[in-house]
Structure 1
């Protein structure tokens, strides 16, 4: 639909013709989401819906860095407890502890993170106990 509306034709008839011709050429067949209900119709209108959708698709976070670190620490602990081997638990805990240590030395923007490095022995003990059950 790159052509301009010709003079002397109403916009509605011009748009209808464009849609009809595209349909006849099959350009509107098998579009993503065809036949699916529109998402978010039951939610109140949000002006920033497109920003939130883009961030979700891109896997981005809108949290301040300090809160993002808290979330990352929480996720890392859960991943360590699900890890298949002790070596993997040690690796996960070492990586998040390094990030926590860096945040303690240079606090990130946002509210205080109030994190302390994980006790590797305590995490390993809990991992072992979960494996025995």
Structure 2
């Protein structure tokens, strides 16, 4: 037995169908994403990250996030303009590492503060390497017909 509100909702759906409001909806006629794959409890988190174009590193526990940031430090500081900005970046990262070391949560992963002097030294060498022009290969000039050696097939006369 249908309740009064159920009948009203069904009537609204039926009139919307008759008006064609459900025609040409996005994804109409396409297979349901993930159908046929095993159930994943975190499907909605993964779809949110994908839809919003967020990095999947956000799902990692804090020590793994910090470790990944330490591993990617060279790439992160490469485009910084000054030595002071590199040191400030390293100081911020070290502050996060020390805060985690004081009250560790998550898996036991070794994460140590970064040596700012070593990072600045690598940053300088990367900048110097990028600043030095690479030797461009010199293409040989096309051989003029007089300089070209003529190869003859032994059985043909020229």
User: How far is 1:38 from its partner?
Assistant: 7.0
* Equivalent position of 1:21 in the other structure: 19
1:100–1:116 CA contact under 8 A, matched in 2: yes
* Equivalent position of 1:48 in the other structure: 42
Q: Alpha carbons of 1:48 and 1:99: their partners in 2 closer, same or farther (altered >3 Å)?
A: closer
The TM-score, its normalising length taken from structure 1, stands at 0.63
Q: Which has the larger radius of gyration?
A: 2
Partner Cα separation in structure 2 for residue 74 and residue 39 of structure 1: 38
* Equivalent position of 2:68 in the other structure: 71
Partner Cα separation in structure 2 for residue 111 and residue 71 of structure 1: 14
The TM-score, its normalising length taken from structure 2, stands at 0.55
Partner Cα separation in structure 2 for residue 77 and residue 42 of structure 1: 41
Partner Cα separation in structure 1 for residue 104 and residue 88 of structure 2: 23
* Structure 2, gaps ≥5 residues long: 130-158
**Higher-helix-fraction structure:** 1
1:131 is aligned to 2:124? no
Counterparts of 1:109-128 in structure 2, within 5 Å, are: 109-128=105-124
Decide which moves more: 111-120 or 41-50.
Answer: 41-50
1:86–1:124 CA contact under 8 A, matched in 2: yes
